[in-house]
Chains A and B, each alone.
Chain A
Amino acid sequence: MIRLLTLLLCLLAGPALAQAPGDAAYARLASDSYAEIEAGIVGLGASGDPRAGAVIGALADGRLLSRPADRALFIRDGSGLVEARTGAPASAEGLKPVRANNKVRRAIEAAMGGLNLTSPDPGKRREAADAMFKARDAGALPALDAALAKEADASVRRALTEARAAVILARPGAAEPERLAAIQTIAGRGDGDALGLLRALSADPSEAVRAAADRGVRTVETRLALIGAAQNVWYGISLGSVLLLAAIGLAITFGVMGIINMAHGEMVMLGAYTTFLVQGAIRAHAPALSEWSLAASIPAAFLVAGAVGVLIERSVIRHLYGRPLETLLATFGISLVLQQGVRSIFGPTNREVSAPAFMTGAFDLFGLSITWGRLWIVVFSFGVFLGLLFVLRRTSFGLKTRAVTQNRRMAAAMGIRTPLVDALTFGLGSGIAGIAGVALSQIDNVSPNLGQGYIIDSFLVVVFGGVGNLWGTLVAALTLGVANKLFEPYLGAVLAKIALLVFIILFIQKRPRGLFALKGRAVES
């Protein structure tokens, strides 16, 4: 009975007690100074106010508004407003958003961490645990213990245990056995954050803690070195796939047809601008489909770049067959014309091509951090490669192309319209370059200069791989990509590139026809 009474009393007094610190916190949130806002968040997070989560969440999204006149706070909720403290619908004039800077955002993260520990969503609880791991606030220990006792989800449990260990290591008064156990937990985490935490213990007064931390540092370091090597190989494959995409069109125009096409990079650029236009059109007319705008851009870019390619071939290049130097100059001129044309139409500044949701962010694979965008580009680039291989090997058009490039007069004698095949082959190479532009718009600038950055690399890949051989292009692109990324951590980006160029020059001296040289009469002629 008495217990019931006290409970009742507590319930009655609870809100009143909680409101006292909350009051001050709300007033501070409406302030102009970042330090005050930060203090307000900390106060609100600790106050136990039931609206704290909603208010701080609104601040994080920029939906928290204040009325400077009386420091009242409101939350924009869809189209209407609600009073921040009560959640009751309201209407008000003269509002301005409560501003946040990095410090305020950090305070928001930490406060949300404390509030979300009891969230029903395991993902949110995990995020909260990670936030507490970063914050290392000694005062959070009781909350963590309470959350641990209730937690059923294994991954969240682990995150909570790690956060608890980090807090214990950061707290001066913890007992030695507890600290040793914490070191074990942290070493098991095995990432850069763990390393930082353990290294900080190297000056610990206790010998046992120092030794354990030392062992921990060593295991984490070995693990990280292994992951680092694997990560570099992945970066290499990713860079290689970009090189492959950029070079594969050139492998046709230069490799198969023997045209030194300096305007190849501009075909890539046209593809990127097509992506920009298609995305803009879809956003304006069919916003629901905007996730698929990249997919829709692929055929569009192929057609645009391919058509420009056919036009260039018919109007300029066909008059210059057999005169490589003049072809080089003419295509270089065309590249400048295309660049300046695009600059005049779209302006010199970069255009924004946004990434669809499935291409943003990263995921963790055994400690490797792999970004979705790069992964899709690797997949896409191999897809394009296989598709092109299929067209050249298995279709009648591919057969004709190969026949014309291997022996033009014989092919003509067999009734193949060689000029048409020339135009279509050049169009195919240009179209593939346009497709590359769709992918490159995701990782590079969509600007008139886009193509220039890839033209040299593309020629390198094709020459290194062996002119006229698609598989050579694949191997060369991946070799150059991986070698570049393996050198880069040791030599720096600038030297790595130089080292690679020197290597290719030496290699070409030894094998002038590249990795996979074509053999037979076609080469001699």
Chain B
Amino acid sequence: MSRALSTGPEHPSPVGRWTRAAALAGSLALGLASASAARAQETIKVGILHSLSGTMAISETTLKDAMLMLIAEQNRKGGVLGKKLEPVVVDPASNWPLFAEKARELIAKDKVSAVFGCWTSVSRKSVLPVFRELDSILFYPVQYEGEESERNVFYTGAAPNQQAIPAVDYLMSEEKVERWVLEGTDYVYPRTTNKILEAYLKAKGVAPADISINYTPFGQSDWQTRVAAIKAFGTAGRKTAVVSTINGDANVPFYKELANQGVKATDIPVVAFSVGEEELAGIDTKPLLGHLAAWNYFESIDTPENKAFIEQWRAFTRNAKRVTNDPMEAHYIGFNMWVKAVEKAGTTEPDKVIAALPGIEQKNLTGGTAKMLPNHHVTKPVFIGEIKDDGQFDVVWKTDGLIPGEAWSKQLDGSKDLEADWVTLNCGNYNTKTKKCGGA
């Protein structure tokens, strides 16, 4: 009974695993010559570590599909280094410790060359030691709170300075906002982002009385009190905006309550960092007209690359209404960068690929070119979109040019002296004052 229930690193599909293990043992026994012969038909394995069940499945399943599409597309173009790519999909089931186990399984047992995965910061933190220990590569596609730069991780989503800070700048300059409600779900990403934003707002001369920070539990569904409080905070006679780091499922009831209590975007705009096309697919967006989101990609951006990508995605999923979103573009960029780095290094060996990745450029889907930086973050444009009544976003503002991702926030005391540079300094947290590397 307990064996059957266990979801540990044992074998969910024992037959496949055993034959693979047997094959491995066999090739070891046959020695070097036959092993190299076997390698000619070998594929390059790519790990996909996204939750397909549990709470996070809502967001992560899409990314798994996006990766399968990208890999199929690459294989159609002839694969990498003359070999076909083989996706290895595992399901960490929205369970943080299971992420670490599944990552170990991917690297140690399946011998994948790189892993694309994780969504929440908790899951990323949980797999970090595994990637460090087994020296493999993780591409992480979601906007996050920063304050991290790891040798084995490449962050293709936005750092706070590529999403949160430009959004606040937009509200200040274009909407003349003077009072701020920072509304978030109670966990690491909103707390860190709000800390950075609070420091940034104060540096811009906003009085502490004009900033209200609030946290609600995961899956909060009763927003009556909070929305009433936001309304009250907004009646002080000066322009008020809400900066929302509310996560996942809690967003739908929040927006429904906003609409019901009549909070309109023309009075109190809400700018969200976790609400994209996918999330809006579950709500009637007519009452939300004009509320904002800040991302590095919107489906509505009109470029030939984006059009082709959307068509490919709809054909792949056989669903003409399927939407694309920002983390999908991040995987698109990350995957293509990895392909280029492997071709540049001439091998899939992690150390060589890690060394080859900084400096690699890849056209993004919105008309610019993303570049992998020495701190393992990428350059990105920032767009502000207003929600339209068809569930898409209308881009109303964008940054001039691309913003390089900052691993360490310039706003926070503990991190403003730190620098991440894996090319010249070979360090993720070099302190420019003490001239020392902080180490892991």
Contact = CB atoms under 8 A, between A and B. Distances in A.
B281 interface: yes
Interface stretch (B54-62, B111-119, B157-165, B328-336): B54-62
Contacts of B394: 99, 101
Interface string A53-78: 00000000010000000000000000
16 contacts: A101-B290, A102-B269, A192-B235, A193-B235, A195-B236, A349-B278, A350-B283, A360-B260, A361-B260, A444-B253, A445-B282, A452-B55, A488-B225, A489-B225, A493-B215, A494-B216
B69 interface: no
Given A197-B237, A444-B253, A348 B220 contact: no
A443 B284 CA distance: 12
Contacts of A200: 237
B195 interface: no
Nearest to A354: B284
B249 A371 contact: no
B186 to A, nearest CB: 5
Which of B175, B235, B265, B289 has the most chain A CB atoms inside 10 A of its CB? B235
B35 interface: no
Interface string B247-282: 001001100110111100111010000000011011
Contacts of B79: none
Contacts of B256: 373, 442-443
B231 A192 contact: yes
Contacts of B175: 102-103
Interface of A is mostly: helix
Interface of B: 52-55, 57-58, 61-62, 174-175, 186, 214-217, 219-222, 224-226, 228-229, 231-232, 234-238, 249, 252-253, 256-257, 259-262, 265-267, 269, 278-279, 281-284, 287, 289-290, 386, 389, 394, 396
Contacts of A492: 214-216
Nearest to B256: A443
Contact of B225 (A105, A134, A235, A445): A235
A286 B231 CA distance: 39
A349 B280 CA distance: 10
Contacts of B53: 339-340, 343
Contacts, number: 146
Contacts of A489: 225, 229
Which of B53, B238, B279 has the most chain A CB atoms inside 10 A of its CB? B53
Contacts of B61: 347-348
A191 interface: yes
Given A101-B396, A360-B287, A369-B261, 16 more contacts: A101-B290, A109-B266, A196-B235, A235-B225, A347-B61, A348-B57, A352-B282, A362-B260, A362-B262, A371-B260, A444-B249, A447-B282, A449-B55, A449-B58, A449-B219, A493-B225
B266 A350 contact: no
B226 to A, nearest CB: 7
A170 to B, nearest CB: 10
Contacts of B224: 235, 238-239, 371, 374, 485
A459 B257 CA distance: 26
Interface of A: 34, 62, 99, 101-103, 105-106, 109, 134, 191-193, 195-197, 199-200, 224, 231-232, 235, 238-239, 242, 339-340, 343, 347-352, 354-355, 360-362, 369, 371-374, 442-449, 452-453, 485, 488-489, 492-494, 497
B174 A103 contact: yes
Pairs A-B, 6 closest by C-beta atoms = A350-B282, A192-B235, A196-B237, A493-B216, A371-B260, A348-B57
Given A449-B55, A453-B219, A492-B215, A351 B237 contact: no
A348 B58 contact: yes
A343 B225 contact: no
A235 B227 CA distance: 11
B235 A371 contact: no
Contacts of B265: 102, 105
Given A348-B58, A362-B262, A373-B260, A446 B282 contact: yes
Contacts of A199: 236-237
Given A34-B396, A348-B61, A492-B214, A444 B221 contact: yes
A195 B216 CA distance: 27
Which of A192, A238, A348, A447 has the most chain B CB atoms inside 10 A of its CB? A348
A239 B226 CA distance: 13
A375 to B, nearest CB: 11
A186 B396 CA distance: 36
A196 B257 CA distance: 23
Given A374-B224, A447-B282, A105 B215 contact: no
A445 B253 contact: yes
A134 B239 CA distance: 11
A514 to B, nearest CB: 23
A451 B86 CA distance: 37
Which of A102, A191, A373, A494 has the most chain B CB atoms inside 10 A of its CB? A102
A105 B266 contact: yes
Contacts of A101: 290, 386, 394, 396
A396 B389 CA distance: 52
A195 B265 CA distance: 21
Given A102-B266, A494-B217, A350 B252 contact: yes
A352 B236 contact: no
Contacts of A347: 61
B220 to A, nearest CB: 6
Nearest to B234: A192
Nearest to B55: A449
Contact of B228 (A231, A348, A453): A231
A192 B235 CA distance: 5
A340 B175 CA distance: 44
A351 B282 contact: yes
Contacts of A235: 222, 224-225, 228
Contacts of A493: 214-217, 220, 225-226
